[in-house]
Structure formats: C-alpha cells, structure tokens
Chains A and B, each alone.
Chain A
C-alpha cells in the first residue's frame, strides 16, 4: 500500500489525534517535573555546583556552607552577580579570595540579582540541614606535567570536608589509569571531543551536546554551552579538570555519573581546550543549518519521486481502487 493510499483510506482519526496529544502530555509532564525543583536549587545546580559545594569541602572555589553568616549579604549578592567587576574595582575581600584560590577568578556567570538572592536562600537552607555528601566524585589533582608548578606547590586538597564530623566521605573510586597515551595531546583530545576516539568508560562524546568553533560547520550540539573558551571560563587546567571529573551539571551528571572520564582523558581534553581558547565563539550558522535541513528534505523528495518513477508499473492497491474504500 502506498503512503497516499494509507493516508486516504487507512489512517484513522483517533490515531492521528493521539500522536500529537500524547506527545504534548509527555512534554507537559517533563515541564511540571522541572518546575518542582526550587528556582534557587536549579540555578545553583546549573551555575555554581561545578566549583562549589555546600558542606562538601573545597573544589575550585570555596565550600559555601554557612557563607551567608560569614559574609555580608549585599556583598554576596554583588559578588555572585558580577565578580569580574568587583575584582576590577579592587575589592579587598575579592582579591584575598582570588589569591587563596590559586588565582582562579570566579567567572561572571550572568546571574541576575533575583537569581542570586534565591541561590543564597537555597544555600542558607541547605547549610542548615545536615550535610549530605556530594554525589559527584571528588577529583584528585592530576599529576600531568601541564598542570605545572601551581599544582605541585599548592595542591587543591579537596577531599577534606569543612566539618569532618558531620560529613561522610563521598564514595570515590579511583579511575583506572590507562598505561599509554598519558601525555596530554591536542590531537587525542580533539579525537575524544569529536567521538572519533571513545571514552574508556563509554561516556558520550562532547560534540553530541557542545559546539566548538574549532570544529567548524555545524560544529556540534546546542544542548550545552559553547566550549570554545571553556578553558579560560573555568580558570584553566585545575578548574576544568575538576569540572570534567565531577561533571556537576544536572544534564551531564545523568550522562557521566556511571561512565566517568579518566584522568588521562581529562588531560587530553584540557590540552585540546587550551588551544581552542584563542578562537572566537561563533553562534550556530543558521544558513548552514537551513541548507543542511533543506538538502535533506529535497533529497527525500527527489528519492521519493525517483522511487515512483522506477517502480511506476508496480502493483498498487487493486481492491481499494475498485471500491473506493
């Protein structure tokens, strides 16, 4: 039966209606689920969790447990909204923190004032609770040569929780190091990014969700942020390493929690991202996208017509054509 014949005679109204309604309902269900999480928690998970914990010890940035009591509220809001500006203005506390944390500046994450307040409210609420261990594995400092002096002299000992009595040590499985390819390598990093080389634990290649100007063309998925300048955004090697090992973002966590990256793989990726920093971030090339999709549709139509031409004398519906139903 041909497609047209199917549409004409076989497709029943309930089936045709069910499909869009069903998908709409599923979409609404997803929506309502995400609304349940409080605004502050969501923003925290999205923007802070990569570098901070609440009672989970230091990561790239400090442990935020009880930070509301420690610092002035207004200062915290300002700092969360525009840390770069405060550093530039030469805020004393900011400078002190920068020094304390290996000169990795806190990036401006585009947090609005309202958002900042809700985040702080969330942190306050969370600090009050008995701390839960962080679910993400805690990164250990890599011993790769590129990490440089910083690491050797000032190792970021992250495993020590701020209040050891309350917090259980997070279950941390030391990743198995591959013997070969230990030297961080731009090409290997690129291959890992593209998925030409797969991650040992079976994690998804970066390009699936992220763009990078280095790749060109459509450049990769748009689910996650552009990674061209990710190296500088997370303050170089240490920051990025911690993010890649812990993958604290909700979307990434779901993908990588059971398939963590290896130290060596992270090092390769670091080497790659360190190079792409020099490139400019480019938005998705809409023209290219439209042409690509357009060519796909045009190809489909051409093949469909071709199919009908080649098999034009094939046997089509006899009975239906006869009785009209």
Chain B
C-alpha cells in the first residue's frame, strides 16, 4: 500500500446557479495577462451543450486521455514514436477558433467621438491581433442554449440515447439544462503529465496538485492535446503552457482557491483524501463500467489504523491525516457514495467529483393547469426531464445504475426532510426509500446539514501544507536562503518568449 494525500474537490451541481462568479474570480487573479486572455482555468458550461473548447468531450477529434491497450492503457494522442515524429507539428491541437478569439471593446470611441446625430458605439477589437473583429464565439457562447439545434444537439454525451429521448430534449415543454463548472481535475493518472516530452508537468507529492514548470516547458503542447478535459492552455505570449494551479499559494496560506471562495451557490467543497497509489495502473486499466467503483475503492479510510501507519511511513504528516478525517469530499465520495467523477472513461482518475443534479420531473397540462404529479412531487426518476443515460454518459461512463443510486440517495434525503418538516409524505414511503438506498435518518440529517447549512470551515477543510518540510526535502536547510528571493522557486522570469 502506497498511501498518498490528495487535495480533492467536490461540486454539488444541484446548487449551481450558473453565475460564472468562479470564472471571473479566477480570471482576475490568474489569466488577465497578455497571451492568456482566451484561457478560462475555471469555466461554467451549460449541459446539454458543446462547452469550451467547442465539443471538448469528442475525443475522436481531440484525442485526449487514455485508451485501453492489452492489459494496460496508453495515451490516445501520442506515444514515444508518434511524439517524436510529430513534435514540430502536432496534429491534434485545438485552434484558437475552437476556444474563441478573445476581444475587448474600443471604449475610447464612446468618449472621443465627435458630436453627431448617431450614438457612438464601442466596436469589438481582437485581443490577439488588435484589429476590429466580428464576435462569433465566446467561452460560454452556448450559455442556457438548451434545445439549440447547433449546441445542445451536438453534445457528445447524447450518444446512446434513443431517438425518442433525444427528440424529447428539444421539445419546448421538456427543455432542460443544468450547469457544469469545470476546473483542472488534478487527476491521479494525469494524461498531461504523461505526454510532456520535456517533463515540465508534475504532480506535487505532498498534495497531488498538478503543476507545470514554466522554466522547463518547451512549448511542445502535447499536454494541450493529451488532457481530455482541455484544461491546459498554451500562452502565445510567453510561449509556455499554463494550467489551473488550484490556487496553491492560497492553499498554503490556509485559504480556499479563489473559485471556491467566491462561489455564490456555495456548491464547492474541498478537502484532502488519502489514496493508494499502487492501484493506479490497475484501476485505470479496468473495464469501463468498473471505473467509478474502483476509483472509490482506491480512496482509503483515514481512520483505519493500517492506512494511518502506511501514510506516516510515506511521510504524510499526521495533521494532514487528521484533516482527511474531516474532509467533506471523503464523506460525499466514499462514505455516502454520492459524488461521481466527470467522464471516468478518459481513465485519468480525476479527483474533482460532482453530485449530479436532481432535475425536475415532467409536468403535464390538465384542465388548462400545468401540473407536476401530486403524489410524487420528487416523482419517479424515470419521469425526470433529463434522460438517465445522459447523466450516465457524463459521470459514470454510461453506467445508468450508478447514477440512479446517487439520485435515489438525493431523493431520499429530500423526502426524509420533507416528511419531517412539512409532513405531507407517508412515513412508510420514506422508510422504503431509506431502506432501498441504505441511508439512516442520522446520515440523512448529516447529508442535509453538509449540503444546505455548511459553514465556511466545513466546506473547505484545508490541510496544513507544511511547506517547511517540502522546502527542507528539496533544498536542505531553508535558512540557507534567508533574505533571498523565494525558497527553491525560480528567481528570474522564464527566458523564452516574445
């Protein structure tokens, strides 16, 4: 057992209101420089929709992630030979058009225009060329465009849906959408790290954050192709790739990442989990339908004495183990089995988990009145507007049963609380539901509290980062560097670039 710590994340999609505050917070802190305008380390997508970059989930085109090969897995985009053969002209790179051409407006025209009969307008200007441009796309271009024949219809997750289900999604009375905020998943088996010919990407040992060394990066851009979530980006100004750093400078000072901190719906949870690194290859190579279950198995119980012993042997500080015991992510993912990884079939073992949205059931018109079924307000899941298969394509590699289990748990908690507070649901029905999902009234109460009433410190259980140990490990005595710039980091700006 090779026990390691990972700062892991959980997004509760039922609470997301799609306000993009997270994206703006991230942009203001990290990607407001020239060359990064088009990057959104954090972005929010409407589902069904094509997302950002357009149709990023279509790996037939983008070639991201891993695919099984014999007993193990290999990268879809590259290998040693193909990497070398295509190193100067990488064939799977998205163009700026597939992201979008970033723009601003010529605001000065509003003030400098000579007096005239017409209102002056601020024309859009490309942030790349500086010329006037027509805006054809944006990072959230398909926001709320459910039912659109261009965007929703081309969602790769509609695969395996019956024609009836597909058509239903585009009927005006049955339209449905939800939001999917995305950041780097800080995967356990990151394809970006595996693909880099320069070895610029690495997974930080103490907390599992995937980082990109700006001094080592040589702009081969294989990480851009290999990441199935398209969460590494190429900065055309510096000639280096960049990605979400999970705001590690904030984490190291005990603050949650900016997107977590600013989240209006409080949908985001962060905490450390312990996992068994010995199992990575075996579990990542498993059959598609087992991936979610095995990944959950890989996460270890921080209260298990054997796990604690192995963790301490591996140099995981006891304060981190203590923090793991309180981790909300551990509870949602492992203890309650309610959070699912996004697209586990890419086999990168993403460590960002989602609670799928419990979407409303279909209404019907009776005597001119729009009704939802009275007796099952939370209704039968089969009457939900979004087909189960769609959610399964997103979160469980097509395994409907696993999504259904999660949704039933969500439903059970709601019914339990409603019977308790409104008292209009038969107790027998609640009992049946609890029995079916394996939840107890106590866990229901706990899930309810952590979902609806969590405090700041309950949502973000940030482990002590212990940079002092890391610094000692890497650079020896930190006092040697006293009064110098930084500890072991780089002191100069990266050499290359424009």
Contacts and interface: CB of A to CB of B under 8 A. Distances in A.
Contacts, number: 44
- Give the bracket for the number of chain B residues in contact with chain A: 20 to 34
Contacts of A1: 95, 97
Contacts of B62: 315, 318
A318 B137 contact: no
Given A322-B54, A322-B55, A317 B150 contact: no
Contacts of A325: 136
B154 interface: yes
Given A322-B50, A322-B150, A315 B61 contact: yes
Interface in B126-163: 136-137, 150, 154
Contacts of A313: 91
A94 to B, nearest CB: 69
B92 A315 contact: yes
B93 A315 contact: yes
Interface centre among B54, B93, B137, B225, by most chain A C-beta atoms within 10 angstroms, is B54
A318 B94 contact: yes
B149 to A, nearest CB: 11
B165 interface: no
Nearest to B100: A319
B91 A311 contact: yes
B321 to A, nearest CB: 44
Interface string B315-353: 000000000000000000000000000000000000000
- Give the bracket for the number of chain A residues in contact with chain B: 10 to 19
* Main DSSP-derived SS at the A contact region: loop
Contact of A318 (B54, B63, B150, B225): B54
A316 B98 CA distance: 9
A289 interface: no
A1 B53 CA distance: 15
Contacts of B98: 317-319
A188 B61 CA distance: 60
Interface string B49-66: 010011100100111000
B85 to A, nearest CB: 10
A154 interface: no
B490 to A, nearest CB: 32
B91 A318 contact: no
A319 B58 CA distance: 12
A37 interface: no
Interface in A287-325: 311, 313-320, 322-323, 325
A311 B63 CA distance: 13
Nearest to B77: A315
12 contacts: A315-B61, A315-B62, A317-B98, A318-B53, A318-B58, A319-B100, A319-B137, A320-B97, A322-B50, A322-B54, A322-B55, A322-B150
Interface of B: 50, 53-55, 58, 61-63, 91-95, 97-98, 100, 136-137, 150, 154, 225
Interface of A: 1, 311, 313-320, 322-323, 325
